[in-house]
């Protein structure tokens, strides 16, 4: 029988790891680095499952090996629905297991226990992970059978062929089976929804506007002949202009990039790709953004609340057409206060929002906006 002191120690270490955000990040990164298919999924989707598995690991040890494996079963079913192969999934699981054991040994050694106790802990963790793997495989195959030869599986197959570069372009007969006409123009729709159950709910709402939807690379995506306008403002969707089917792969890649930008801004609802074009292009050059912000705004102190007010005011001024009155209304300030802050910013930095003869008004404004936004995004005062 296992020594109670050893079991309590294993439980304490597993509980500490489950509560440590750094361990969660290490396990997620290990899984993504060792499995390209897992890495194509949104990182938040990986973190959601792994955090639950770590928490269930502690419960498993506390229950003497009779823990709940619902998270493992959900992981297997979700990955099957998302089109991840069982081999790709298990590569991620094995890499995550190695990182969990490595982190556990580090925690154990920090407490000064002997090697025998550490070995017992490794055996306990390995036993739990082996059970997790069995439940993942069983649930994956069950879900795979349920999904096979269904309309959902066919839709996903067609969408992957249309949107993902590593697949063959669908045959006309296959397109016709899901209601897509090869000679028509379609919008690419990419959402931030990754949970399969939430994806099914949103899909039903989007189908009212026509089109084909499914989970591709972990996100609910689709193609539609009409612009969808779902009433649910909770989800974020990026919508490309309508174009030929052969151009949707490029549109999908651009929509994914734009989705990250819009999500970082806390956007919701349907956002046209063209409205996010400039921010998406700028976001692809972080080193240039940092250089611009450092050059223009070096005198500003990131810890100064007043300096953050100056930058926020200048951004609002630019975002509202360089109109003092509009910026003042949005910021709930007097127009003279806005003028004062813009003047102080010009005095402290190389940022001058006035028109200068011989310089491009558009390019100068864009460069200034980019520098201000980059500086502002670095953090708030006191952090």
CATH number of the domain within which 358 lies = 1.10.10.2840
The CA distance from 190 to 267, in Å, is: 14
Regarding whether 137 and 27 lie in a shared domain, the answer is: yes
Regarding whether 142 and 17 lie in a shared domain, the answer is: yes
The CA distance from 343 to 338, in Å, is: 9
Last residue of a domain, one of 258, 282, 306: 282
The CA distance from 117 to 122, in Å, is: 9
Domain assignment present for residue 303? The answer is: yes
**What pLDDT is stored for residue 231 in this prediction?**
65
Regarding whether 11 and 143 lie in a shared domain, the answer is: yes
Regarding whether 208 and 136 lie in a shared domain, the answer is: no
**What pLDDT is stored for residue 243 in this prediction?**
93
Regarding whether 135 and 190 lie in a shared domain, the answer is: no
Range of the domain at 198: 153-282
**What pLDDT is stored for residue 121 in this prediction?**
79
**What pLDDT is stored for residue 334 in this prediction?**
94
Domain assignment present for residue 8? The answer is: yes
**What pLDDT is stored for residue 383 in this prediction?**
43
Which H or E run contains 204? helix 196-206
Last residue of a domain, one of 261, 282, 303: 282
pLDDT digits (tens), the chain, 383 positions: 445 665 677 777 877 888 888 888 998 999 999 998 888 888 888 888 888 888 777 677 666 555 678 888 888 888 888 878 888 899 998 998 888 888 888 888 888 888 888 888 788 778 888 888 888 999 988 887 776 656 677 888 899 999 988 768 888 888 888 888 888 999 999 999 998 888 888 988 888 888 899 999 889 999 998 888 876 667 999 999 999 999 999 999 999 999 999 998 888 899 999 999 988 988 888 899 889 888 889 899 989 999 999 999 999 999 898 899 999 999 999 999 999 999 999 889 877 776 655 556 778 888 888 888 889 888 766 54
Regarding whether 309 and 231 lie in a shared domain, the answer is: no
Domain assignment present for residue 214? The answer is: yes
In contact, 95 and 35? CB cutoff 8 Å: yes
**What pLDDT is stored for residue 1 in this prediction?**
43
The residue to which tokens 């079991």 are assigned:
7
Last residue of a domain, one of 118, 147, 176: 147
- Which of these, 54, 58, 134, lies nearest to 100 by C-alpha position? 54
In the chain, the number of structural domains is 3
Regarding whether 300 and 236 lie in a shared domain, the answer is: no
Domain assignment present for residue 382? The answer is: no
- Which of these, 307, 250, 244, 300, lies nearest to 273 by C-alpha position? 250
Domain assignment present for residue 383? The answer is: no
CA separation, residue 368 to residues 315, 353, 354, 356 (Å)? 9, 8, 11, 13
**What pLDDT is stored for residue 66 in this prediction?**
58
Regarding whether 290 and 278 lie in a shared domain, the answer is: no
Tokens of 356: 């200068």
The CA distance from 307 to 128, in Å, is: 52
| Cα atoms in the Cβ-side hemisphere of radius 13 Å centred on 44 | 7
CATH of the domain at 142: 1.10.490
Regarding whether 257 and 193 lie in a shared domain, the answer is: yes
**What pLDDT is stored for residue 4 in this prediction?**
60
Regarding whether 135 and 15 lie in a shared domain, the answer is: yes
Regarding whether 240 and 159 lie in a shared domain, the answer is: yes
Regarding whether 68 and 181 lie in a shared domain, the answer is: no
Cα end-to-end span (Å), the chain: 51
């Amino acid at each position: 029988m296992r020594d109670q002191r050893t079991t309590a120690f294993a439980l304490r270490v597993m509980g500490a790891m489950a509560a440590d955000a750094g361990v969660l990040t290490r396990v997620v990164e290990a899984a993504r680095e060792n499995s390209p298919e897992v890495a194509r999924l949104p990182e938040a989707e990986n973190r959601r499952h792994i955090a639950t598995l770590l928490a269930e690991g502690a419960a498993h040890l506390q229950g003497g090996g009779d823990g709940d494996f619902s998270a493992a079963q959900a992981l297997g079913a979700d990955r099957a629905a998302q089109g991840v192969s069982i081999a790709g999934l298990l590569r991620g699981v094995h890499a995550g297991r190695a990182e969990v054991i490595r982190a556990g040994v580090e925690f154990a050694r920090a407490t000064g226990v002997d090697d025998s106790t550490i070995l017992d802990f490794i055996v306990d963790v390995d036993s739990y992970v082996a059970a997790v793997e069995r439940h993942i495989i069983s649930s994956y195959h069950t879900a795979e059978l349920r999904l096979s030869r269904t309309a959902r599986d066919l839709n996903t197959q067609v969408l992957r062929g249309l949107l993902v570069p590593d697949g063959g372009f669908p045959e006309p007969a296959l397109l016709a089976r899901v209601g897509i006409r090869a000679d028509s123009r379609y919008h690419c729709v990419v959402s931030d929804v990754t949970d399969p159950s939430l994806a099914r709910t949103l899909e039903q709402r989007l189908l009212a506007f026509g089109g084909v939807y499914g989970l591709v690379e972990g996100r609910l995506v689709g193609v539609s002949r009409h612009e969808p306008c779902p009433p649910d403002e909770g989800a974020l969707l990026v919508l490309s202009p309508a174009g030929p089917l052969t151009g949707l792969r490029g549109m999908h890649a651009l929509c994914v990039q734009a989705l990250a930008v819009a999500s970082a801004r806390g956007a919701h609802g349907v956002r046209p790709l063209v409205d996010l074009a400039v921010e998406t292009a700028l976001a692809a050059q972080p080193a240039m953004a940092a250089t611009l912000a450092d050059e223009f705004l070096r005198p500003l102190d990131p810890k100064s609340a007043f300096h953050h007010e100056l930058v926020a005011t200048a951004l609002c001024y630019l975002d509202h057409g360089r109109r003092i009155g509009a910026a003042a209304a949005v910021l709930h300030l007097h127009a003279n206060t806005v003028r004062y802050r813009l003047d102080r910013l010009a005095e402290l930095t190389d940022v001058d929002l006035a028109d200068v003869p011989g310089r491009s008004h558009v390019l100068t404004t864009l460069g200034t906006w980019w520098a201000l936004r980059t500086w502002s995004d670095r953090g708030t005062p006191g952090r």
